[in-house]
Copies of this chain bind each other. A is one copy, B any other.
Amino acid sequence: MFGFTYYTPTKVLFGKDGEKQVGKLVAEFGGTRVLIHYGGKSALKSGLIDRVKAALDEEGIFHVELGGVVPNPHLGKVREGIELAKENGIDFLLAVGGGSVIDSSKAIAYALAEPDKDVWELFEAKRPAKGCFPVGSVLTIAAAGSEMSNSCVITNELTAEKRSYNDDIARPRFAVMNPDLTKTLPDYQTESGCTDIMMHTMERYFTQGGNMEVTDEIAEGILRTVMKYAEILHKDPENYEARAEVMWAGSLAHNNLTGCGNDGGDFVTHMMEHELGGMFDVTHGAGLAAIWPSWARYVYKECMPRFVRYAIKVMGVKDEGQGDEAIALEGIHQMEEFYHRIGMPINMRELGVEPTDEQIIAMAESCERACGGKKGSAKVLYLQDMIEVYRMAL
């Protein structure tokens, strides 16, 4: 077991109609001039942006808005937001959307705190952030966990680089979580979200020891819950209880509750997916599902106790004396079966992406750079390993 810092200061308001309280929450956390940041037109059409604006108006809070954030959010939009925020003296970023919108808001918030510096330097690991303007969110997609996390992932659309920067100073001040707001999400997005949520916990679970029992218990509980409700939502997307379970699990899966005591986790699957996202603009969760089974088969022998425990406690594999290897492999197989049951791919072909070997090598090289040469806990992967996993995932 390792020592750890646990810091989740985000105030969560969970339940129906929470967005009506957003003006009060912004005021509580000192916001007076707000940039409302959002994605596509659904937030406008549904009337959500209007409700948010009305809630801000009720508190007499100034606001401007900027939509158009895309999945795998672009640095260009971040720069647009920075300019707009500066012009309007913005002191609070309000993200209305999912992880992409929240991450775009966090990036703007970092930039506003150090207005003379280029924010992309954070993502290039050239310097740490010295400050960050306050961010709050009205969550509309359960997936990224950015509403409570310290992470921020931005894609430089000019270089096709998808890069992350993690810092506790960017943890949002509040998160409004109204499960109703996720009901209209298309099935593919919903299930990609469930996959992402599970992966945030799995990345912290497959390690070379160090995890605490209480952390493992919580992680396994979150995983079983998300699996159960992901299948329910595949058939019944308007099920409020299921939306709520997945939404809250999504925040807990990535606010580091499931990493307490571990060695920092593995996160190679995430890093390798970021390259897929940067090059092919795939949906993040689906990209994770396309990589994970190959990653798992590549590393499981060196992380056997965790794969066996996962198979038994999460995937429900029965230990009937078949031996650790058979149990571990059956767990991976059952995970693939689950992905298929919720309409997720288990390789890149099923994801709709067929990179050439040159593209695979390019992705692996870019991933290696982003990882600083190597990455992983279950098994430390280097360039050649990453190439191998991409090839297995074809």
Given contacts A5-B11, A15-B2, contact A217 B222 (CB under 8 A): yes
Query: In the complex the two chains form, what is the Cα distance from A260 to B1 in whole Å?
Result: 27
A283 CB within 8 Å of chain B: no
Cβ distance A115 to chain B, nearest Cβ, rounded Å: 24
A67 CB within 8 Å of chain B: no
Residues on B with beta carbons closer than 8 Å to the beta carbon of A252: 214, 218
- Interface size class of chain A, counting residues whose CB lies under 8 Å from the partner chain: 35 or more
Whether A5 and B12, one on each chain, are in contact in the complex, defined by CB atoms closer than 8 angstroms, is yes
Residue of B nearest to A240 (CB): B1
Whether B12 and A7, one on each chain, are in contact in the complex, defined by CB atoms closer than 8 angstroms, is yes
A14 CB within 8 Å of chain B: yes
In the complex, given contacts A14-B261, A217-B222, A248-B261, what are 4 additional A-B residue pairs having Cβ atoms less than 8 angstroms apart? A4-B14, A212-B245, A213-B229, A220-B221
Whether A217 and B212, one on each chain, are in contact in the complex, defined by CB atoms closer than 8 angstroms, is no
Partner of A3 from the list B9, B15, B222, B245 (CB cut-off 8 Å) is: B15
Q: Which 7 A-B residue pairings sit nearest by Cβ, starting from the closest?
A: A3-B15, A217-B221, A9-B9, A6-B12, A214-B225, A7-B11, A214-B249
A244 CB within 8 Å of chain B: yes
Residue of B nearest to A260 (CB): B248
Query: In the complex the two chains form, what is the Cα distance from A18 to B4 in whole Å?
Result: 10
Query: In the complex the two chains form, what is the Cα distance from A215 to B249 in whole Å?
Result: 9
Cβ distance A138 to chain B, nearest Cβ, rounded Å: 15
Given contacts A214-B222, A214-B248, A244-B261, contact A3 B12 (CB under 8 A): no
Q: Which residues 224-243 in A have Cβ within 8 Å of B in the complex? A: 224-225, 228-229, 240-241
Cβ distance A344 to chain B, nearest Cβ, rounded Å: 20
Whether A5 and B1, one on each chain, are in contact in the complex, defined by CB atoms closer than 8 angstroms, is no
Among the interface residues A1, A16, A213, A220, which one has the most CB atoms of the partner chain B within 10 A? A213
Residues on B with beta carbons closer than 8 Å to the beta carbon of A261: 14, 244, 248
Interface string of A325-350 (1 = CB under 8 A from B): 00000000000000000000000000
Residue of B nearest to A217 (CB): B221
B-binding residues in A (CB < 8 A): 1-9, 11-16, 18, 212-215, 217-218, 220-222, 224-225, 228-229, 240-241, 244-245, 248-249, 252, 257, 260-261
Count of this chain's copies in the oligomeric assembly: 2
Residues on B with beta carbons closer than 8 Å to the beta carbon of A224: 217
Cβ distance A249 to chain B, nearest Cβ, rounded Å: 5
Residue of B nearest to A175 (CB): B6
Among the interface residues A13, A221, A225, which one has the most CB atoms of the partner chain B within 10 A? A221
Query: In the complex the two chains form, what is the Cα distance from A214 to B4 in whole Å?
Result: 24
Residues on B with beta carbons closer than 8 Å to the beta carbon of A245: 212-214
Cβ distance A183 to chain B, nearest Cβ, rounded Å: 15
Among the interface residues A14, A214, A240, which one has the most CB atoms of the partner chain B within 10 A? A214
Query: In the complex the two chains form, what is the Cα distance from A19 to B11 in whole Å?
Result: 27
Query: In the complex the two chains form, what is the Cα distance from A8 to B16 in whole Å?
Result: 21
Query: In the complex the two chains form, what is the Cα distance from A220 to B218 in whole Å?
Result: 9
Given contacts A7-B11, A244-B261, contact A218 B213 (CB under 8 A): no
Cβ distance A12 to chain B, nearest Cβ, rounded Å: 4
Cβ distance A130 to chain B, nearest Cβ, rounded Å: 15
Cβ distance A156 to chain B, nearest Cβ, rounded Å: 32
Whether B18 and A14, one on each chain, are in contact in the complex, defined by CB atoms closer than 8 angstroms, is no
Query: In the complex the two chains form, what is the Cα distance from A4 to B178 in whole Å?
Result: 11
Whether B217 and A1, one on each chain, are in contact in the complex, defined by CB atoms closer than 8 angstroms, is no
Residue of B nearest to A229 (CB): B213
Query: In the complex the two chains form, what is the Cα distance from A245 to B220 in whole Å?
Result: 16
Residues on B with beta carbons closer than 8 Å to the beta carbon of A18: 3
Query: In the complex the two chains form, what is the Cα distance from A18 to B6 in whole Å?
Result: 13
